Structure 1
Amino acid sequence: MKRFNSILCVVDPEESSDTAIIQAVRIANDHQADITFASVVRPARSLRGFHRSKEEYDRDFDALAEKKRPAIENRVAAIAPSMKANVEIYSGIGFIQIIKSVLNKQHDLVIKCAEDTDWVDRLFGSEDMHLLRKCPCPVLMLKPDQRDSFRNILATVDVGDDSSELDDGRVQERLNKEVLAYSVALCIPELTEIYVGSAWEAYAEDFYRYGVFSQLPEDKVDLYVAQVRRECSDNLEILVREMGDMLGKDAVQYLQPRTYLVKGKPSKEIPLMAEKYGIDLIVMGTVGRIGVPGLIIGNTAESILEQVKCSVLAIKPEGFETPVV
């Protein structure tokens, strides 16, 4: 089973970070993982004019940053009295410093509360999206009130054939298995319901059905669409069966994952699925261009992240390179 060893929990003592601390402590206990609590202080240019020298500014800024340390230690102590908090204070742009810490300290999970944005519009703010796009390790971005254990987890997979044709290494296939492995890692300790969901489309169906230049009879189009659906359904069954081989039959029988295959665009159907089944955590892969820094998240994943109103665990594919150095 997939295990976490080193968790980086991002906190801000000036805002409520209790959700992130609670979830980090819970997951660390489940996986016997280490936790580092990190906070980032962003330099303010407006303060420089009030200081006579750079040395004076740096001294005051360092003192301001270090005030965060006891505040974080106190919050951790209130939530987990037996834990001695390992606290790191960074200076700079938030998501960049967090990613640099991941690279330097080899953290394998980042946990953070989503920014306080307009909930009617979208859950994740700009800093969150940068982190979700560019962090090389999995990022658990939490809905601010998600303090209890997750009740319903949706593992989103892509079982169509189109994605596998785009890469020789079958990145999507491996990413699907990673999504399932991470979902199970979070499900088993907490008796969580797991849903395995996928959306499918028959390529160019609208052209064949309604296109002016299409000569394909309606019954042939129906056969084509039915064949695509059958292939996607078979692929989903195979993936869940391989999940049993990978994680153990006992684990899969214990979890009894429910599979859902819906027709439509994933960017539309996955958020609807999450709402329909009361999902409080989506586990998803973010596929873009592999091995090319900066081209790091697919349009579908981006669209889903902008729509969902629940917590998300975002996983990068093997071969991903962060543009942050």
Structure 2
Amino acid sequence: MKRINNILCVVDENSSSDVALIQTLRIAEETQADITVASVLNVTGFARAFGLNKDESDAKFAAMIVERREAVESWLKQNAPGKKIKVDIFCGIEFLEIVKSVVKNNYDLVVKCANDVDWLDRLFGSDDMQLLRKCPCPVLMLKPGQTGIFRNILATVDVNDAFDELDINRVQEKLNEKVLDYAAIFSISELADLHVGSVWDAYGEDYLRMGTFSDMPEEKVNSYVDRARRDCANKLELLVSNMTKLLGKDAVEYLGPKVHMTKGLPEKEIPLMAITHNADLVVMGTVARTGIPGFIIGNTAESILEQVHCSILAIKPDGFQTTVLN
């Protein structure tokens, strides 16, 4: 099972930072992890707007950092009395500063409350999406108001095998295992019901059934589709059964994961699955098929993120390298 040793909790004076802190304290207590609280001052264009030269702007930024640090430390004394928590204050664009800090300090988890963008029809705004895309470690992006425990956790895995022959490094398989590992950590600590969901399809089915130049008999198409379904079902069953090797028999028996497999498009079916099973946390890989030539990565995950309305734990595959530092 993965160890969470070092957590970065992102707070903002204009958002529900107590949501992020409450969840961070709960996770840290369960995993015995160290906590750093970070706050980012967005000073982009500040010096130009006020006509300050470099010396004047540097002095102003230094004063603002001291002021924000004092405010955060005072807030922590009220909300986490007696806890040993490091405080970092940054100036710049929030997601960039957070990602740079993750790379520098090797954080195992970032916890942040989603910015309240009530004028949008989705939960995550552009800045949060950037963090979900580019942060190399797992990101727990919380729905505003999610102060209680998670009761239903949905772990989403990809067991389609259309491109498996190109995935020589088993990136997708390892990512699936990683998703289940983190889902188990949160399910055990929160005493939550664990659901494992996957969406399957038969590659090229529409062409075989309706393509202009396809003359395959219907019974052969049906046999091919049924074989694809069985293959995905077998891979999903094996993946869940392998949790015993990762977590131990007792832990898996305690979790009793409920398995769901449906046919269709992940970007449509996963959000529906989250609603159907009342998920208040979805654990998902946000980049898959890394290293497979010609495969566009991330589009499906982004479409899912734009539709879900619960907290997200976003997982990257091992070896993911952020573009922020390039």
Q: TM-score range by the shorter chain?
A: over 0.9
* Partner residue, 1:286: 286
Q: Could you tell me how far 1:51 is from its partner in structure 2? A: 5.1
User: After superposition, where does 1:258-297 map in structure 2 within 5 Å?
Assistant: 258-288=258-288, 290=290, 297=297
- Report if aligned partners of 1:290, 1:319 keep a CA contact under 8 Å in 2: no
Q: Which amino acid aligns with 1:308?
A: V
Partner of 1:161: 161
Superimposed CA distance per residue, residues 201-252 of structure 1 (whole angstroms, 9 cap, x where no aligned partner): 0111111112222111111111111111111111111001101122111101
Q: Deviations over 1:224-281 (max 9, x none)?
A: 1111111111111100110112211110100000000000011110000001110011
- 1:28-177 matches, within 5 Å, as 28-48=28-48, 50=50, 53-118=53-118, 121-177=121-177
So what's the TM-score if we normalise by structure 1?
0.94
How big is the shift at 1:119? 6.7
Distance in 1 of aligned mates of 2:307 and 2:194 = 21
Aligned mates of 2:57, 2:236 — CA distance in 1: 58
Counterpart-to-counterpart distance in 2, 1:296 and 1:115 = 28
After TM superposition, where is structure 1 displaced by more than 3 Å over at least 4 residues in a row? 46-53, 288-292
Q: State the Cα distance separating 1:16 from its structure 2 match.
A: 2.2
8 Å CA contact retained: 1:199, 1:261: yes
Q: TM-score under structure 2 normalisation?
A: 0.94
Assess if the C-alpha contact under 8 Å between 1:133 and 1:296 holds in 2: no
Give aligned pairs, total: 323
Which consecutive residues of structure 1, in runs of 5 or more, have no partner in the other structure?
A: none
Whether the 8 Å contact between 1:9 and 1:20 is mirrored in structure 2 is yes
Alignment of 1:240-259 (within 5 A): 240-259=240-259
* Contact in 2 for aligned 1:193/1:255 (Cα 8 Å): yes
Give the conservation status (yes or no) of the 8 Å contact 2:139–2:315.
Answer: yes
| Worse-superposed segment, 216-225 or 170-179 | 216-225
**Whole-Å Cα distance in 1 between the matches of residues 301 and 140 of structure 2?**
15
- Secondary structure class of the residue paired with 1:67: helix
Identity of aligned pairs, percent?
A: 57
Contact 2:102–2:137 under 8 Å retained in 1 = yes
Q: Is the 8 A contact 2:281 2:311 kept in 1?
A: yes
| Structure-2 change in CA distance of 1:179 and 1:288 (3 Å) | closer
Query: In structure 2, what is the Cα distance between the partners aligned to 1:138 and 1:177?
Result: 14
CA distance in 1, matches of 2:26, 2:118: 28
How many Å separate the matches in 1 of 2:163 and 2:99? 28
Q: 1:130 to 1:249 in 2, by over 3 A?
A: same
Cα root mean square deviation, aligned: 1.8
Hey, what does 1:316 align to over in structure 2? 316
Deviations 1:82-112 (A, max 9, x none): 2133110011111111011111111110111
> Retained in 2: the 8 A contact 1:111–1:141?
yes
Separation of aligned partners in 2, 1:246 and 1:178:
10
Q: Distance in 2 between matches of 1:93 and 1:296?
A: 27
CA distance in 2, matches of 1:171, 1:201: 20
